[in-house]
């Protein structure tokens, strides 16, 4: 019993949550959305259950191996059935599975059903960069590329820094449309509990609600070619006012950029 308690305490103490990413990180990043918080809680719940079950089975095995070894028990019992025991070892695991399945299905539903949304963005995966569109904001659209090692500034993490971040407001239900321009990619953001395949010719959808301002980092999570590891996703979550201020700036900035590209290509 003492062993079980100690193990529980060690496991509960383990997830030292980091806001964002840290060197030698174990466990999850600190959840920044309600969905991710629920994923995190379910994970911990299942982890405790499976730890308890594993320890229980281990103790039984050790007991059986010692108590019924050949030298201590030379004439084994010929008994082969025990109705009560067999009912219990069928019924108890079923109950355990039900206890785990109920919160799990609730969570799948929460992730899958898109609530009333405040805004929509469209994410397009390309070999090997992301394109972001804001269809409700003058069709603002821009591309987001990895910043190579030699151009990184102090404190910017390697392979997880981009030139143009996906800027989004906090505390808004954001509808995310995900697709790809060439091959399969996957839009994944661990601290927001979002992962959606980007499939060419198909429009997938998901949603997120970011709880607090910050920089959140993710990566393409569907192997998509040699540049798969070089197309990170960086979300910058800001207040609503900051978001609109950024929108105004971005519209000018990317409009000039797009016009220049068009002019150059003529």
Binding site for Cu ion (CB under 5 A): 185, 220, 224
Rounded-to-integer distance, Cα 27 and Cα 191, Å: 11
Give the start-end residues of each E strand in 135-231: 140-144, 166-169, 174-180, 185-189, 194-198, 204-208, 214-219
CB nearer to Cu ion: pick between 127 and 173? 127
Q: 39 or 220, CB closer to Cu ion?
A: 220
* Residue 184 or 247 having the CB closest to Cu ion: 184
CB of 220 to Cu ion, least distance (A): 3
Residue closest to 12 by CA, chosen among 43, 35, 36: 43
Q: Would you state the structure tokens that stand for residue 65, as one six-digit string?
A: 């191996």
CB of 242 to Cu ion, least distance (A): 29
Taking the C-alpha atoms of residue 16 and residue 23, their distance in angstroms, rounded to an integer, is 13
Element of type H or E holding 241: helix 240-265
The phi and psi torsions of 248 (rounded to 5 degrees) equal -60, -45
Residue whose C-alpha is closest to residue 5's, from 51, 41, 38, 61: 51
Q: How far is the CB of 231 from Cu ion (least distance, A)?
A: 5
Residues 119 and 174 sit within 8 Å (Cβ to Cβ): yes
Q: Which is closer to Cu ion, CB of 52 or CB of 184?
A: 184
The nearer residue to Cu ion, 128 or 243, going by C-beta atoms, is: 128
CB of 189 to Cu ion, least distance (A): 14
CB 125 to Cu ion: min, Å? 5
């Amino acid at each position: 019993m003492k062993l079980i308690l100690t193990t529980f305490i060690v496991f509960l103490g383990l997830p030292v949550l980091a806001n964002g990413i840290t060197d030698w990180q174990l466990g999850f990043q600190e959840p920044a959305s309600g969905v991710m918080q629920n994923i995190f809680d379910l994970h911990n719940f299942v982890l405790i259950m499976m730890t308890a079950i594993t320890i229980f089975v281990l103790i039984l095995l050790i007991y059986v191996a010692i108590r019924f070894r050949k030298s201590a028990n030379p004439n084994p019992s010929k008994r082969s059935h025990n109705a009560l025991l067999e009912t219990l070892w069928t019924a108890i695991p079923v109950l355990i599975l039900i206890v785990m399945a109920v919160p799990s299905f609730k969570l799948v539903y929460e992730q899958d059903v898109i609530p009333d949304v405040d805004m929509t963005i469209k994410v397009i995966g390309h070999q090997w960069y992301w394109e972001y569109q804001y269809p409700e904001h003058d069709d603002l659209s821009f591309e987001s590329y990895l910043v190579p090692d030699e151009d990184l500034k102090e404190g910017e993490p390697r392979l997880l820094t981009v030139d143009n971040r996906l800027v989004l407001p906090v505390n808004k239900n954001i509808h995310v449309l995900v697709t790809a321009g060439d091959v399969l990619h996957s839009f994944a953001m661990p601290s927001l509990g979002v992962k959606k395949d980007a499939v060419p010719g198909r429009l997938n959808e998901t949603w997120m609600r970011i709880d607090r301002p910050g920089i959140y980092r993710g990566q393409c999570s569907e192997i998509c070619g040699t540049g798969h590891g070089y197309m990170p996703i960086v979300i910058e979550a800001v207040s609503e006012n900051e978001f609109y201020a950024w929108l105004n700036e971005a519209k000018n900035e990317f409009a000039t950029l797009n016009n220049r590209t068009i002019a150059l290509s003529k």
